[in-house]
């Protein structure tokens, strides 16, 4: 399942997308509305690690798959937009199925 750089990148993209939504949709409201900062610290750290891994794997996939700079830039922007990582993963899965 994780035998190619692209498969690993897709898995991390999904995990990073989930952590992004948890961070902004659950733990930040808990921190600021319910004065409960602990979950935000944990999820924030996990999200940060996944974000770094996302960028490192993006660089690897960019080279391994010979992506254009535009496609790599779009993948980077997708990690910054809510639900962007999910849309990117969906598109990458479609491209892989068409091969």
pLDDT in tens, 2-27: 899 999 999 999 999 999 999 999 99
pLDDT in tens, 11-68: 999 999 999 999 999 999 999 999 999 999 999 999 999 999 999 999 999 999 999 9
User: Would you state the pLDDT for residue 99?
Assistant: 82
CA distance 20 to 57: 17
Does this model's pTM top 0.75? My answer is: yes
Angle at 8 between CA 49 and CA 83, to 5 degrees: 65
Q: What DSSP letter does each residue of 38-77 carry, written as one string?
A: HHHHHHHHHHHHHHHHHHHHHHHHHHHTT--HHHHHHHHH
- With contact defined as beta carbons under 8 Å apart, do 82 and 21 qualify? yes
Contacts of 75 (CB under 8 A, 6+ apart): 58, 61, 62, 67, 88
| Residue boundaries of the structural domains of the chain | 5-98
* Chain centroid offset of residue 94 CA: 17
């Amino acid at each position: 399942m994780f035998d190619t750089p692209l498969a690993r990148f897709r898995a991390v993209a999904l995990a990073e997308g989930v952590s992004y939504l948890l961070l902004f949709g659950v733990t930040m409201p808990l921190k600021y509305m319910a004065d409960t900062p602990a979950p935000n610290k944990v999820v924030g750290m996990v999200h940060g690690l996944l974000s770094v891994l996302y960028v490192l794997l993006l660089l690897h996939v960019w080279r391994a798959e010979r992506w254009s700079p535009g496609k790599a830039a779009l993948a980077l922007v997708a990690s910054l937009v809510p639900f962007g990582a999910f849309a990117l993963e969906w598109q990458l899965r479609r491209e892989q199925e068409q091969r």
